[in-house]
Chains A and B, each alone.
Chain A
Amino acid sequence: MKRRTTLKAGVALAAMTLAGAAFAADPIVIGAVAPKTGPLAGGAAVTHWPNIQLWVSEVNGRGGLDVGGEKRMIEVIEYDDQTNPQETIKAVTRLATQDKADFVLAPYSTGLNLAAAPIYQRFGYPQITSSASTDQIVELSDKFPGMFFLLGQNREIVGDAVSILNALREAGEIGDDVAMVNVADAFGIELAATAKPIFEEAGFNLVYETSYPLGTQDLSPVMKAAKAADPDAFVAWSYPPDTFGLTEQAIIEDLDVKAFYTAVATAFPAYGERFGAAAEGVMGIGGVNTASPEFQDYAARHMEVTGQAPDHWASGMMYASLQILEQAIEGAGTIDREVVTQYIKDHAFETVMGTVDFDEHNNNPEYWTVGQWQNGEFKGIASTGRDGAVPVLIKEGWE
């Protein structure tokens, strides 16, 4: 008796599954390759993976993507590239050839995106990058016409930071003396190398300048020396661990500056949580228009679905890249990769970060460059054409 019930239930279930399969269209297979282990796993866990989770749950919650009048669910296949470009290449190839993915989301970080670019190109996937930072956009989009760049360019990110200090100086808030430090690794070196001539051209004195190796635990000598130089402003081209480390030391040393800037991870929610009121007035890379209802709504959904808040730099861009893909597929009404790629080039897209309209080099010309912690939120204070920048605050102590 018992067995028969189970059997009946089984038959019923099978019948339902069959019926379901007969009615629903095939899902759209989307590949995702990014670090789950290795040096960049931490950053990807904040910026990359949660957005994919959010996007998939929302799209499928709506019943899928509308492709030419037919609703199609999305099915995501995720691979860990171990922060190793060889593995990224293998995983994207595997997605294209074995999993027959209809689209593959862009990988995480500059290096992994560029290593995979020839494979995206070969299989005709649009590659909408939201975490690749390069000053070779013209050459790269020429060679890889399906590669798009959302995050912006270093010289504008650095240039705007200097302009903010310049404005403070002209307002009489700070003097000429700047202490500048950088982490001795790819992105930190590049930012510092870009910044130095811009500072000098603007007539600032670099009263203290140094670099420290990647992974330095004890940053107190750096901060002590910076303090001894008595600067008006402190600028660090830093990575996540040292962004936290330098801020901590600045609090300990009670560094008396009117402008304090740390680079990557200043926009992370964890920064505000860790330093609380002391974070007030700290500037960093990124920023968003926190007054925008679209962004507020996105942040709330992000929190609800993934249990964590988005960062205020690349998170929104990552989500925007997914919105662009979604709108392009629905707008083009097909999953033909070539048509979708062309659609992305030809159209503007409404995203949580505002309208994105790629220029002739597949570059997003409008993005946030500098943000600042104000009233417990990291807000955009400078951008290359976004609305909603708030006025800059003077850093007043660490209490």
Chain B
Amino acid sequence: MTARDWQKLITAAVLLGIAALLPLTGNAYWLSLGVSVAMYTVLATSWALFSGPTHYISLATAAFFGVGTYVMGSGIEVMPYWTLLPLAALAGGLLAALVGLATLRLSGVYFVIFTLGLAEMVRQCVTWYQNQTGHKGTYVLTELTEADIYWQLLGLAALVYLAGWAIQRSRLGFALRIIGDDEEVAAHSGINTALVKVALFVVSGLVAATVGAIIAPRYVYIEPATAFAPMLSFQVVIMALLGGTGRLWGPLIGVIPFTLLWEVISASFPNQTTLLLGLCFLLIVYVLPKGFVGLMQRLDLMRQGREAFA
């Protein structure tokens, strides 16, 4: 590791440490926003690990999230909380591996459609099972507070950043970038493209499932409709794209302004919330196609250009 790497790592650790102090301020309002920011940061960053370099747009986040939620919901009565988090990760990872093996040979739009359908499919399976067994309500009653949930999400965020950083520097990351540029070339260079894609898809799947498991105690009562809400998948994509997927920290700078924007709209226009959010989606895609990261790079280039002329 170079001195520059150490510098980055220490900066990240300090920022994380500062973020961890939020619950100590005792401000419930900022903490509830903090939980949202932390949750979407983890989801969007892990989404971008896979979708960023490969350009495969996955809408499966809600499916993995819901699986994690249900692992927690159905296990909390019989098993200790901490064992359920890795179990949820395992379930999410397995599902991602299965889906990945079956579909990542598909390209482009077929993959998008399949992942969109996945959340609905898993939801129907859960419902079918509940219907067969005469299920009566899933409750997750724990002693965990908002602060506990926030800290767990921060911890998970740290793991995701470390994993992302390690992947970028590995042969796997290199292979991914080649696949993103041209999958044919990658295959001809001897890269097992299917395997590489599945590996990264599994990472984003297991992270999203863990997030679902961490959030479950916050919902208290788990229903298929809220656990597998398709809106979540779209929010994650929009936030990641707003930030930009070219950098590991890209999604983060999308999540923070978006969460605040969402909050302002929800608070100021309670009767037109959904309409205004839709307009924002359109604006983001139209004005910032490469997200804030792209915008910053463009500004950077312009500045360099001006300097060159001067």
Q: Is the CB of B223 within 8 A of A90?
A: no
Q: Is the CB of B135 within 8 A of A190?
A: yes
Determine if A79 is an interface residue (Cβ-Cβ < 8 Å): yes
A37–chain B nearest beta-carbon distance, Å: 5
Contacts A85-B219, A93-B32, A189-B134 given; 9 further ones with Cβ under 8 A?
A80-B271, A83-B226, A91-B266, A94-B267, A110-B221, A114-B221, A115-B219, A117-B220, A182-B131
- Chain A residues near B136 (CB, 8 Å)? 135, 189-190, 193-194
- Chain A residues near B231 (CB, 8 Å)? 82, 84
Residue among B36, B124, B145, B274 making CB contact with A37, cutoff 8 Å:
B274
Q: Is the CB of A90 within 8 A of B33?
A: yes
Residue among A78, A115, A184 making CB contact with B221, cutoff 8 Å:
A115
Chain B residues with CB under 8 Å of chain A are: 27-29, 32-33, 36, 124, 127-128, 130-131, 134-137, 139, 141, 145-146, 218-221, 223-226, 229, 231, 263, 266-267, 270-271, 273-274
Determine if A213 is an interface residue (Cβ-Cβ < 8 Å): yes
Main secondary structure of the interface of A (DSSP, over half): helix
Q: Is the CB of A90 within 8 A of B127?
A: no
18 example contacts (A-B, Cβ-Cβ < 8 A) are as follows A36-B273, A78-B270, A82-B231, A90-B32, A93-B29, A94-B266, A97-B28, A97-B29, A111-B221, A111-B226, A114-B220, A115-B219, A118-B145, A118-B220, A139-B139, A189-B127, A189-B131, A194-B136
Residue among B128, B134, B223, B229 making CB contact with A186, cutoff 8 Å:
B223
Q: Is the CB of B137 within 8 A of A190?
A: yes
**Given contacts A90-B32, A136-B139, is CB(A193)–CB(B266) below 8 Å?**
no
Bound: A185/B135 CA distance, A: 10
Tally A-B pairs: CB < 8 A: 116
Bound: A136/B266 CA distance, A: 32
Bound: A368/B218 CA distance, A: 32
Q: Is the CB of B135 within 8 A of A84?
A: no
Annotate A85-102 by CB proximity to B: 1 below 8 A, 0 otherwise. Answer: 111011101101110000
Bound: A136/B141 CA distance, A: 11
* Interface magnitude class on chain A: 35 or more
Determine if A347 is an interface residue (Cβ-Cβ < 8 Å): no
Bound: A143/B146 CA distance, A: 16
Bound: A315/B96 CA distance, A: 44
A115–chain B nearest beta-carbon distance, Å: 5
Bound: A2/B29 CA distance, A: 49
Annotate A56-71 by CB proximity to B: 1 below 8 A, 0 otherwise. Answer: 0000000000000000
